[in-house]
Every structure is written in structure tokens, then in C-alpha cells.
Structure 1
Amino acid sequence: MDHEVILLDSNQGSNQHTYSIGEAAKMIGSTVKTIRYYDEIGLVHPSLHTEGGHRLYTPQDLWRLELITTLRYLNFGIPDIRKLMSGELGVSQALDLQMEALETQIGTLSSMLSILQQAKQHEAETPLHAGHSLSYVSSLVDSITAHAKKRKQFVSAKMKESHLLDGIPQEWRVSFLHFFDKYLMKDTKMSAEQTMAWNEIQEIINDPGYFADLARLELPFFTMANHPQVEAEVWVKKMEEIRIRATEALSKQWPPDSPAVQAIVQDFVMLYASNERTGDPEVFFRTQAQYMLDSVTERILRFNRLCMVVNPAWSEIVDGINLLQEGMRLRLQQMEED
């Protein structure tokens, strides 16, 4: 060790070793730039600074940095690492999510390898048509890639087959699919990984159990849509406003029990109030929020995770919902205590 600093930590009342950012980088096998980045995004702050403002890291800081380095090696994303280290995401759940992600990547690589192998075989079998294999590769990719038109046709057919939306007015059927159409039906060519995720989404949608889960989860929507307090277009605009506010709350790292997040939670839950079910707002909130929390199944969660692969922008919706759900739990706990 080239340099070691001994400082008194006023919080612990005892001496402890501290290390410069350069030393910390060497000890965990990373770079100064990376450690500085973790500080800037609030993932790991140095416990101390020199009088000149230079970062100093304690052994506990080094342990956290080492853990982040390990998780990054295992391909964990920064948002999941943040949730894991804050306790928002349990270790078992984090490992399950990462294994699912890696399994999707393995499937993606297998699919890509198969295409390349077929192209090489085609090249060997048609030596007089050198270069045609590139066109062959393109045709193979096109044959497995689900463009927006194909995706829309598939979803439309499954919705009709399930009869899920038969009981609500036409304008509310469009509202029901608003976010799905906006984010998942974009007319862009998907990557190999996105194609693999879409294939699994189709498998889930083909499972009658998924539609049973969805019908249970969306029962409050169907009830509201048949006796709405606002028009369908207005409801969609309000939902978009909720999404924007939740995204802002996440970016500013407002806690679920903060007044700002609780205001979003209140507005979100009350959007499902109908003319026939408003009654006492507090009673409605309690019943509706508990139903929303109890109706989420593993199939629904997996579907959302796959949607995030198809379009990363879907993560804003999922993260926003997670924030609101945590806000609901805290609000319901407070109601019980009161």
C-alpha cells in the first residue's frame, strides 16, 4: 500500500483506516472513473473527505464497492443494484430476476448462433453464388422477427379469443390497451434479444391462465369503465399524468411515504372510482388499494419484465407502478394503525 490515512471517525469514536480513491480502485480491481461515477449517482459515497475535498474510503465502503463490482460482473444493472443494496429488492428475488435475464440472453445467443450456422451451411452449399449468404441471413432474421403489424395482429386475435374486453364500451377497450399499444407496438425492427422476449410474451398470452390473471387484476378497470366518472380520453390523459409524476418521483428519489408520492398514490387509486362505487373515498381507497396489491401474480410480473426487454421504456411504467404499490402498502399500514 503506497499511502494510508488514519482519521478519527466522530460517529464511531475510534480510529479506522481510510483509503484514497486510487487505492480503492486498485483494491477492488476497478478504475477511479468508475468509483467516482458510483459516488456521483449516489450508489456509494465515500464516508470521509480530506481537508482538500479528496474522497476517502473506509473498509466498509470498500466492501460495498467490491459487492457492486461483483454484481456488475454478473450483469446486474445499476437500478437493480441500487434496490438490492437499499433493501428494496430481496436477495432471493434479485437472483431470480437475474437468472431469468441470463436465460433470455442464452436463448438469444442460441438463436443467433443457429442463424449464423445456417448461413455458413448455405454458403458452403452454394459456392457459385458467393455473397448470397448475406441475403440469406437477412431473410432468416426477417422470418423470426415480429414487426409491429404482426404483433398487433397477434394481440388483437388473442383479445378477441379471450373475450376479455367484451363487456366494456369500445372507447374503453382502446383505453385499456393505450400503454401497451404506445410502448410495445412501436414500428421498429427488434433485436435478437427483443425477438426472444416477444416469443415468450406470446407463450404467456397463449396461456389461458394469463388471461384469468389479467381479468382478476383489471376487474376494477372493467367496473369503472361501465360506470365511469370521466370520459375514456380524459381517463387516459390522467393516467399519462400519473406516469409522468411517478417518473419524476423516481428521478428525484422521493420515498414512498413522502407527501408527494402519497398524493400520486391517492390520485392513482381514485382513478378507478366509478359512479356507483365512490361512496366514502377512504373506504374505497382501502378496498381498491388492497385489491390491487393482492391481484398481482408471477405471470403478470414475468410479462412486465419481458415487456421491458422488448422496449426498455416500459421500465418507467413498471418502476412507477412499483413505487405506487409500495406507497399503497405504507398507506394501508398507516390506516390500520390509525
Structure 2
Amino acid sequence: MALIVLMEDDAATRTLVASVLRKDGYDVLSADNGLSGLALIRQNKPDLVISDVQMPVMDGFAMLQALRADPAIMAIPVVLLTSLQERAHMRIGMTSGADDYITKPFRPGELREAAAAQLNKRQMQAAVQTMAVEAAVQAALEDQKHHLSYLYEQKLASELSEKWPSADGTSDDEKFSNATVLFVDVLHYAALAEKLSSSELSDVVRQFYNNAGDTVHLFGAKHMQFVGEGLLVVFVDSTDTDSVNHGLRAARAALGLLDAARRVQKFIHSQFPTHRLPRFDVSVALNSGPVALAKLEDPLHGGMHILPVGDTVSATLLLQKQAYKAGWQIAASVAMLRGVTGGVTTGGRALVALPGRSAALDAAELLGLALQA
């Protein structure tokens, strides 16, 4: 049974949070200030700490600093509780070593998700280890050059296509309560199109999307399709991916797409050294939530087309555009990151305003995998 130490000076909030956590089966020890809470942590070595920021005697930031300075308890994850007015100060908490934060007022579901995500760290770190098998695949992708023979690429595509899902001829949509959506878009595409001929641009685009298709296939994508110059990919949990969840596989694919872009940049540099082209780069967004794969009949040409639909999909497309403006190569919603807690490393975090949506999306920059020794 997981043990949680809760620090909150407001008695009503403390009672509410403790009640929600105990209802989920956790043991909870409570304190009304940071100093008393720190003593409980040192005495009981809990699995998780949930702490308010503004408290008497010792506030949440001071408690966090003391916890991270103590080797005996420094590895315990910490979730901070903060009011809307304190949002500007949360960078201090995250920089000081907080693992997550929740803004008051919050829904019980948000609290449950944040607690479960932190307590899932050990399990997720084990899942990351299973990805060691993919190291050879990544090395092969990094070594892959534009001069690979057509025969080799055809053989690889044939092997990968055996795992690729196809329409079953029915009109039933596939619905997933939780999936991860990845959207990657080529930056500076208009500038490339202006300076290259159509055949030259075709070579460049083919270089990237051949690599991109291989990458998402290798990490077990359920569905992919082009959206303009971008590529939309859906990952779901399945039985043939060594139990690595869809979020972690999507994160791995996103990092692989950055590698693919770097290979294309080398190709451009070697093929068009005098064109003064903008750097070939991509921007990626990741988001998790409910997704439906709608099966649509083509009335003109016959056959079946699959279209990913839902708020998760539309939010991912919008997040990619806004994240690029913020300078993030890979942006991931906090909903997605909570599913891979302990498995990835992140950078900046912000509330990202999405055009046409009433609420901003809590997101962070994904930097890499948190591979453990």
C-alpha cells in the first residue's frame, strides 16, 4: 500500500485531499505546515509527497529544498498544490525539483491522475528498460543514408507492412479511451518550395517521409496519414509491443523523427550546396486522450478511408503550431506526460493558448528518454 505525506495548512482542503487519496486505497499522513511535514517524511519515508506552497513555519518551496538536500529522502517525488495567483512562481518549484503541480481549485480526478502518475514511476522505468532492444533499430536508422538501394527499401517496407493495420470492410469505427496522437510538420516548407524545383523538392520530402514512415512503423503505430505537409500518427496499447505503453512509444518515435530531420539536412547540404536553403527541421506535438478511428467510404473511388477524430486529435494539431512559436522541437501535453512519468525528461512547461479553444493546454517541452542504468 503506497504511503503519501500531505502538507496543507487549510483544514478543509487537507481533509478533502486526504479523503480522495484514502478512497483510492492510499495511506495518508497529514501535516499543517512544511516543517511538521518534513519530519513525517524523514520518519516514514513515504512513496509520494503532496504539498501546498503557501504554509506557515516552512513553506512548500523551503520544504522541497530541504527534501532534495537530504540523501535519505531526496528521490521521493513531490507534487505541489498552488493557487491561480501563484502560477508565476511555479517555475521556482519545478526548477527546485518538484515533479508536478496542480492548480487550485482542482478536480478530484486531477489529483488522482497526478498521484497515480508519480507512483507509477518505478513501473515506467522498468518499461523503459524493455526499449533497450530498440537500440539496434535506432542505430540502423541513424546510419541509414540516402544512397540505400531501392531493393533494400522495398524489402523493409514489405516487412513492416505485415504489421500495418488495414480496413476490415466494416463500417464500425475503432474507439480508444486513451491513445497518444503524434503530429509532425516540416518547418520552412514554403521557403524550400520557393527555392527548389518540384522534382528537387520531391526528393527532399521523400527522404524525410520514407524515414518518418519507417520510424513510426517500428514503434508500433496504429494509424498514420498525411495532413498537408505534416504527418498524423496514432499510437494505442497492443499486445505486440513488449508491454511498452503507447505514450512511451510515441515519445520514442518523436525523438526518432528529429534524427530523421537531421539526416535530411545532411542530404540537402550535399545535394544543394549553393542553393542557400533554410535548415530542414521539423516540429512535433504529442497529446493523449480519447481517439476514434472513423471508417469512411469513398463514394467516388470505392474502398474505405480511416480518419482519426476527436478533441485529442484537434488539440494535437493546434499544439504543434503554438509549440513551434515557443521554440520547442517536441511539445507534449501534461496529460500525455503523466502517462510516461519517469520515462522521459522535460524542459520548460507552460499553459499554451490554442486558437479556437476556451481553455489553454498544459504542456511541456519533451527533451529525451530518462534511460536508467
Asked which structure has the greater RCO (Cα within 8 Å, sep 6+), the reply is: 2
Structure 1 length as normaliser, TM-score? Answer: 0.30
Q: Which is richer in strand? A: 2
Structure 2 length as normaliser, TM-score? Answer: 0.28
Highest CA radius of gyration, 1 or 2? Answer: 1
Q: Which is richer in helix? A: 1
